[in-house]
Amino acid sequence: MTDNVQGCTSVAGGRTPGATTPIVVALDYPDPRQALRLLDALDGAQCKLKIGKELFVRGGPQFVQQVARRGFDVFLDLKFHDIPNTVAQACNAAADLGVWMMNVHALGGAKMLEAARNALDKTGGSRPLLVAVTVLTSLDAHDLGEIGLTGTVEENVMRLARLTHAAGLDGVVCSPRETALLRGALGADFYLVTPGIRPSDSAADDQKRTLAPCEALQAGASYLVIGRPITRAPDPMQALRAIQSEIAPLLAR
Ligand code: C5P
């Protein structure tokens, strides 16, 4: 594990040109009011924000729009997985909320992935980024076998990431431990969005295979999704600043 800035030597992964930060804070709060309290201390140059199912169901599309209007890039993490037409319409609706990034499940298949991408292409202008989840990190090889997927988790991740790439999506969500492999196989322009990030001084919580922010960037991550190390810190702003300082030498290169 990299535990100091001396360990930060180079970045292998790309990000949106002109992007100011690779940090995406996961707003995993049960109540939109709690999330808004954190937002009051932040601005969009410091981090991007991920809104997942719990907060979306509680706060609704209005909450997403409210956050986007405050100048934050919003990653809407709803992991759509349905028939192609339904997913395409859902992506359209999400784009209307002004989000920066959204996601679908690669297991929905090539037709669904292409329908989602085509729907966003039709929105014109600077459409939201579209990334796919390959294999949920909660699944192991035994779980995959039960649903009829043979091979190792890594083989399934690679196959689904290639399918996502071929369908013209912008990237995948992946575990930090898969990042180097995917970066090597899929090239510099494919976004790798990695949760499971733990600064060297934080608890792992329920994450089993973590990397430090510098390590993940060096392995080729484009964006780092970080929740509890920031949102549950006694001083979230201080925790965010510490991570920013930790990765600053890498981003300056
Ligand atoms: O608190 P923590 O940093 O573990 O939060 C990580 C965020 O990334 C959570 O919102 C979690 O749901 C999400 N995530 C993950 N692992 C995945 C996909 C998403 O931890 N494979």
- The pTM score is 0.92
DSSP 211: B
Mutate to test the pocket of ligand 1, among 23, 25, 28, 178 (most ligand atoms within 8 A of CB): 28
SS3 163: helix
Where the chain has pLDDT below 50, the residues are 1-7, 17-18
Q: What is the pLDDT of residue 14?
A: 59
Q: What is the pLDDT of residue 19?
A: 56
pLDDT digits 0-9 by tens, 75-124: 999 999 999 999 999 999 999 999 999 999 999 999 999 999 999 999 87
Q: What is the pLDDT of residue 12?
A: 58
DSSP 197: B
Provide the Cα torsion 5, 10, 14, 17; round to 10°.
80
205 Cβ closer than 6 Å to some ligand 1 atom: yes
Task: Locate 120 and state its tokens.
Answer: 């966003």
Q: Which residue CA neighbors atom 5 of ligand 1 most closely?
A: 227
DSSP 221: -
